[in-house]
Amino acid sequence: MSAERDEIAVVGAGLAGCLLACYLARRGYPVALYERRPDPRTGRVERGRSINLALSERGLDALRRIGLAEQVMADALPMRGRMIHPVAGEPQFQSYSGSGDRAINSISRGALNNALLDAAAALPGVRIAFDHRLVGLDPTSGEMTFETPQGKVAATASVVLGADGAGSAVRGQLLGYGVLTESLDFLDYGYKELTIPPLGGDFALDPSALHIWPRGTSMMIALPNPDRSFTCTLFWPTHGTASFASLGSPAAIERHFATHYPDLIPLAPNLVDDYQHNPVGVLGTVRCAPWQVAGKVALLGDAAHAIVPFYGQGANCAMEDVVELDRCLDECDDDWSAALPLYQRRRQDNAEAIARMALANFVEMRDKVASPVFQTRKRVEHALERALPGRYVSQYELVSFSTTPYAQVRRRVRRQYAVVGAVAAGGLALLVGAVGAAIGRGRRG
Ligand SMILES: Cc1cc2nc3c(=O)[nH]c(=O)nc-3n(C[C@H](O)[C@H](O)[C@H](O)COP(=O)(O)OP(=O)(O)OC[C@H]3O[C@@H](n4cnc5c(N)ncnc54)[C@H](O)[C@@H]3O)c2cc1C
């Protein structure tokens, strides 16, 4: 079957690109997967660059469809809720779900990427070219130019799919040809990683939670790793007081952490070294349109819609793009000129919805989670979820534990909040009845 199909080029062998290669090869396409880096399965890990991420239902669903979920989950660490670390006092646990048993999963981004690379490489028809950085693309002919250690290399494909991340060169080429517009909104915040090593051979903190140190205008989080360490990520302002720019000397670093993150000090012996040597990453939202040109070139994952990481959905959303594109190819009998516009129509609103929810969640994580009002609201939400199973579902559950389209999640949650707000004064019995009826009406409407 593959001999009858033209070769598809996928640019970028990250999470979306490798997954896409697997899905396309399964459809019988010969796939050329181009990656600017050397093979990560043989190379060195970059210092201080997001070594773990939270995988939830959307990513798992995409992996399940190609039989990879079990293998990936073997090394995952389930996190059932948030552990909030105040400046003084004991940490408090907040469950992610009303039932208390649903979890997002901490996994190594590198291990997930390698598992997807192995899966793609094992499929007949997939050819992986490492050390190939795309530097030129003609969107009408599909002609590409790559920089390689041996010099410039040209290649052509009937369809070119850009899965080359937030700084996408494919997107840049489309921009250069004047067939795409983009907006990049950077936050005044950056991120930096620190490590909490194992303590006496075990986890230094509870590994079944995502740890948060909310500090109002900034925060730190920590996710567990299979080697019993934790990767902490600081999300701090890049400039101004108490920012990455203002904190340089070992004494100032130690003083700052002792004041704002006192429980970290005994757990992070390499704190100052990590802080001084790990890079500060940028955080932002990428929007562009269109996502496809003439059924010949398209963008997926961060290349089309990079978002801030505060909902833990960037990779999940990228993997969901692949599932949707596969579905569109099914529905369009593999006519790419119909499938790519359909993919764009179905995904664009959803990407915008999660981009907005991710931005809003930054305020929730760094500030609101610590407030008694927020904690009461969460308890009420969980009570409603238990009282109205499947009818009242929190935004967090819909985003993380379902594949309900993101745009639909926003609409449904707005409806739920409106009803809860309107009847809150009337007591729980009245509330339960009203929410149930309103949601029923919303579903029919
Ligand atoms: C601090 C942080 C925490 C995060 N936490 C989470 C989380 O908990 N959960 C979650 O779901 N998401 C999370 N994310 C987001 C997630 O990492 C991204 O959304 C995801 O990696 C996007 O996958 P991608 O394949 O689209 O892009 P990438 O993973 O960026 O892959 C792009 C690939 O393209 C290659 N490439 C780039 N340019 C070229 C070129 N010119 N030619 C050839 N190849 C090229 C790159 O080398 C790379 O391999 C987080 C992100 C950050 C920054």
Q: Cα(170) to centroid of ligand 1, in Å?
A: 15
Q: Is the pLDDT of residue 443 over 60?
A: no
* pLDDT, position 46: 60
Q: Which residues, including other chains, have CB under 8 Å from residue 176's CB and lie 6 or more apart?
A: none
Six token digits for residue 8: 């598809």
Instruction: Of 435, 424, 322, 440, give the one whose Cα is nearest residue 385.
Output: 435
**Which of 47-51, 86-90, 200-204 is predicted least confidently?**
47-51
Ligand 1 atom nearest the C-alpha of 16 is: 25
Q: What is the mean pLDDT of residues 208-228?
A: 96
Q: Cα(181) to centroid of ligand 1, in Å?
A: 21
Ligand 1 atom nearest the C-alpha of 54 is: 8
Mutate to test the pocket of ligand 1, among 19, 35, 144, 211 (most ligand atoms within 8 A of CB): 35
Q: What is the pLDDT of residues 135-191, one digit of tens each?
A: 999 999 999 999 999 999 999 999 999 999 999 999 999 999 999 999 999 999 999
* pLDDT, position 2: 41
Rg (CA), the chain: 23
Residues 354 and 311: beta-carbon distance below 8 Å? yes
Cross-strand partners of 93: 83
Split at pLDDT 50, 70, 90, the class of 62 is very high
- Does residue 149 have a cis bond before it (omega within 30 degrees)? no
* pLDDT, position 1: 42
Q: Is the pLDDT of residue 444 over 50?
A: no
Instruction: Of 130, 129, 83, 139, give the one whose Cα is nearest residue 106.
Output: 83
Mutate to test the pocket of ligand 1, among 19, 20, 36, 231 (most ligand atoms within 8 A of CB): 36
* Residue written as token pair 């833990």: 312
User: What torsion, rounded to 10 degrees, do the Cα atoms 212, 215, 219, 225 define?
Assistant: -20
User: What torsion, rounded to 10 degrees, do the Cα atoms 155, 161, 164, 170 define?
Assistant: 70
Q: What is the mean pLDDT of residues 62-89?
A: 96
Cross-strand partners of 177: none
* pLDDT, position 438: 61
For residue 120 and ligand 1, the question of a CB distance below 6 A is answered with no
Q: What is the pLDDT of residues 365-410, one digit of tens each?
A: 888 888 888 888 888 888 888 888 888 899 999 999 999 999 999 9
For residue 236 and ligand 1, the question of a CB distance below 6 A is answered with no
Q: Give the chain's mean pLDDT.
A: 92
Q: Cα(325) to centroid of ligand 1, in Å?
A: 18
For residue 15 and ligand 1, the question of a CB distance below 6 A is answered with yes
Share of the chain above pLDDT 70, in %: 92
Q: Cα(312) to centroid of ligand 1, in Å?
A: 12
Instruction: Look at residue 164 and give its three-state secondary structure.
Output: coil
Q: Cα(14) to centroid of ligand 1, in Å?
A: 6
Residues 170 and 164: beta-carbon distance below 8 Å? yes
Is the pLDDT higher at 3 or at 245?
Answer: 245
Using CA atoms, how far apart are residues 289 and 302, in angstroms rounded to an integer?
13
Q: Which residues, including other chains, have CB under 8 Å from residue 319's CB and lie 6 or more apart?
A: 15, 16, 19, 58, 59, 62, 63, 301
For residue 54 and ligand 1, the question of a CB distance below 6 A is answered with yes
The residue length of the chain stands at 445
Q: What is the pLDDT of residues 285-336, one digit of tens each?
A: 999 999 999 999 999 999 999 999 999 999 999 999 999 999 999 999 999 9
Pairing label, strands 181-196, 31-34? unpaired
Instruction: Report the chain's terminal Cα–Cα distance, integer Å.
Output: 45
Six token digits for residue 211: 């740890």
User: Atom 19 in ligand 1: which residue has the minimum CA distance?
Assistant: 314
For residue 81 and ligand 1, the question of a CB distance below 6 A is answered with no
Is the pLDDT higher at 140 or at 42?
Answer: 140
Residue type, 241: T
